[in-house]
Structure formats: structure tokens, C-alpha cells
Amino acid sequence: MDRKIVGLRRRTLLTAGATLGGLQLASPFIISARGEAPVKIGMVDPLTGSLSAPAGPEVEGAKYAVAELNKAGGILGRQIQLLVEDSANDVGTGVQKTRKLIDRDKVDVIFGDVNSGIAYAMSQVTNEKKVLHIVPGGHTDPITGADCKWNVFRICNTTTMDATAVSGELIKRFGKRWFFITPDYAYGHSLQDAFVKQLKKAGGEYQGDMLPIANSDFSGTLIKAKAYKPDVLLNNMGGLAQVDCMKQFTQFGMEKEMALGGALFELEALQAVPVEAKAGWWTMEWWWNQPGVPHVAEFVAAFRKATGKTPSARHWFGVVAVHSVKLAAEKAKALDSLKMAHALEDLELPADVALQPGKVRYRAGDHELMPNIFVGNAHPAKAGANPDDMFTVAKLVPGEEAAGSVADTGCHMKYPA
């Protein structure tokens, strides 16, 4: 097995409640100061399994933010306690862990899950229990669309936002004949549907395969792709499956025959794939190298000092989730879920949390965060440059431009009487 992939698997096989990297020495995550009851945040993510690669950094980002905020006084003068549970990439387990955190541990807020299907199932529980629920990194559209809920807010983009933002570049640069490799679960279905909608508008054509979320052998699908002779192969897989697919893509020498592209090719995956696969046009939902943007360089430096890592979009999701709880509680002057939900509506993230240009807010109509979408090309790091500088941002697409209107999402927000 490729050493980079082994390293990625090793780094992301986390246990619930485990500390990460340099943060272990920087600050504890579970603090009870002066006998005060802490603000409890429960986080459910697939720390084991095929999506552990994106889940681990989300947890790490949340832990970093908790440590920093606790040093600064916490939330409403109380320290923050982060309770992390492993969904193991299983819907039933994710639901069970969510109920445990709410019923036994009495958490004030829930975060999770990277797996969109689990995030959706969790939202049924949090809505029933009337607990504020922030989804840092589960992308499928219905969470803030047709199945939106008053208590659920999302940080990462919808699949429609990512697909809309990058489709024009893929068509312009490569052509309108596409082949999809897509995971067969909620995220994959909504992402491919969003891409197909854009492709059909341009008069394009496509083929593709839907594969298990934890698929590791892509040979049959890649042979099918070679025979189709697409202009671009869109690798919609996530986490370790995407890395495995990219490795086999280069083993087949297919980088000489077709372009690469798609929605997400995250920093964690870029770090793990062969040099030949560091290519194509993609979206980043946040990017660390933003020269001249206030607060970004200092955040990156502080995060590297604490963890020894360059922050990724997944780290940023975790950081924003924790800060969102603080912002909501302090605006509401309470930890009441209903009051915090109202407080988050149209709340604009401060510049040192948004860490990008422009206004970044939770849209009132559907509770979707409206950040920029970073569209650009992946490439190997240049000699002598930062080894994580493997993506060049070509343009920023405003979130609301890519998302469309609230009416387009199908969300009809209903609050308790």
C-alpha cells in the first residue's frame, strides 16, 4: 500500500475524545472551571471507516477552537466541553450516539455528521429533541432544502453550490463529455444530479458508475471510463475511496487520456494522491493561502503552531461550528436552542472567523452558510514552495450566486409554535 495512504489512514483513525497533534499540550478539551457547569457540545463523526479522512480534521478544528475559546473565557463565561462520538460511518450508530449525547450527556448543541445520510438521520433526532444542530460537513441538498428544519444549520456548501460553481470551468476548459465516478449514497446522488443539470443546460452527455461509499477497487469502472473516452472524469468519491480511485487512475495512465475535475478535491486527499493525480479543476470550500485577506495568515500560523498542520476546509468547518455556538449564545444571551436558532439567522461571521473576503452569513430562509466557493486548479507544489500549496484559486464564486434562491432549495422553514 502507498505510504502516503497508510499515513493518511493512520492519522485519521481517531478514537472518541482523543486529543490530536500539538493540541494535546496546548489546552485540555474538557474543562470544568471553578465548579461551573460547562457548555456541552456533542460531536458525531465517522472517525473510523472510509470517511475518517475528512472527519478527523473537522474534529481537530473543533478541538482547536474549543481550546482557544476556553483560554479566552469560553461561552457566556463558562468553559466549553466537547464530547466526541464515532458514528463509524453507520446511520444506526450515528443516531444512537446522537441520542446518547442528548439524553445521557445533556449536551446543549450537536455537531455532525460528515456522512450526509447520517447527518440527515441525526437531524430527525435533534429536531424531535429540540436541540440546536450544526452540520459542519454533510453536503446533500435536502438538509437545508426540502427537509430543512428550524434547529439545523449547515456550514459546508450544498452539492448544488459546489457543482454550479465549477461546472462552467469544466465545460470551458475540457468539454461536455463527462464520466462520473460517484458514491452510492445521499451525497453522491445529489451531487451527480446537480452536475447533470448543469451539463444538460450546455448540451453535454455523460456516463458513469455509482459505487459503494467505501469502494476500493475501481478497475472495472476505470476500464469503462477509458472506453467512453470522456473529456473529463469527475471523481465524486470522498475520503479514502477518492484517494484509492486517484491512485488507480494514474496506474492505468489515464491522466494522459482525459482531464480530471469535479466538486471536492480536499487538501487531505491532495496530500495523499500521486503527483500525476494532483491535477484538474475543482472547488475548495475554504483555502488557507489567501494573500492580503485580513486574519487568514495569522490564523494559519496559529493553527500550525498548535497542531503542526496546515488548516484545511475541514478544519475550518470545525472552527466555524464552535464559534457559531458562541456567537449565537452571546447574541441570544442564552443557551436555549430556539433563541440561538433565531440569533443565527442572517448572522454574519466576523472577519476573523469567516477568514475570506466579503459577507459570510447564515441565510435566514434555509439556514445555509453563504461563503465564497474557491474554484481553481490542483497541481503539485513547486520546488521550494510550501508543500501544501497544491491549489491555485482562479475565482471566488459567491455562495448565494451558486445556491440560487431559498425558493429554489424547496425549504419551507417552520418554527415551533
Asked if 42 and 83 touch (Cβ cutoff 8 Å), the reply is yes
CA distances from 273 to 89, 155, 188, 384, 400 (A): 22, 26, 21, 20, 32
Q: Please, where are the H alpha helices in 72-139?
A: 91-103, 116-129
What pLDDT is stored for residue 19 in this prediction?
39
Question: Smallest Cα–Cα separation from 181: which of 246, 269, 240, 113?
Answer: 246
Helices (H), 213-285: 219-228, 239-251, 267-272
Q: Which of 324, 365, 316 is nearest to 345 (CA)?
A: 365
Domains of the chain: 3-157+293-371 (3.40.50.2300), 160-289+373-403 (3.40.50.2300)
Confirm if 114 and 91 have CB atoms less than 8 A apart.
Answer: no
d(CA 181, CA 242): 9
Q: CA–CA distance from 160 to each of 46, 164, 206, 392 (Å)?
A: 23, 6, 18, 22
Choose among 279, 219, 281, 275: nearest CA to 252. 219
281-284/372-378 β-pairing: antiparallel
Check residue 389 and give its pLDDT: 97
The mean predicted confidence, pLDDT, of the chain is 92
DSSP string, 70-114: HHTT-BTTB-EEEEEEE-TT-HHHHHHHHHHHHHTS--SEEE--S
Separation between Cα atoms, residue 188 and residue 389, nearest integer Å:
27
Q: Is 146 exposed, middle or buried (0-12, 13-18, 19+ CB in 10 A)?
A: exposed
Indicate left, alpha or beta for 245 from its phi (over 0: left) and psi (-120 to 50: alpha).
alpha
Whether 115 contacts 58, CB under 8 Å: no
Maximum distance among all alpha carbons in the chain? 67
| CA 211 – CA 194 distance, rounded (Å) | 18
Pairing of strands 281-284, 259-264: parallel
Please tell me the predicted confidence (pLDDT) of residue 36. 77
Q: Whose CA is closest to 355, among 338, 339, 337, 369? A: 369
Location of C-alpha cell 432549495: 409
- Cell 472552527 maps to which residue? 319
Predicted TM-score (pTM) of this structure: 0.91
Q: What angle is formed at CA 198 by the lines to CA 194 and CA 203, rounded to 5 degrees?
A: 140
**133: which 3 cell numbers?**
444542530
CB 42 within 8 Å of CB 229: no
User: Would you say the C-alpha torsion 279, 284, 287, 291 has a positive or negative sign?
Assistant: positive
Exposed, middle or buried, 125 (CB in 10 Å: 0-12/13-18/19+)? buried
Residue 242 backbone phi and psi in degrees, to 5: -65, -40
The amino acid sitting at 239 is: G
Nearest to 214 by CA among 369, 89, 113, 56: 89
Cell numbers at 159, concatenated:
452539492
If the chain, 417 residues long, is cut into consecutive pieces of 10 residues, what is the mean pLDDT of each piece? 41 37 41 69 95 95 98 97 97 98 98 96 98 97 97 98 97 97 95 97 98 96 98 96 96 95 96 95 98 97 98 98 98 98 98 97 98 98 94 97 95 93
Q: Which residue has the cell 470550500?
A: 285
Around 6, how many Cα atoms within 13 Å sit in the side-chain half-sphere? 3
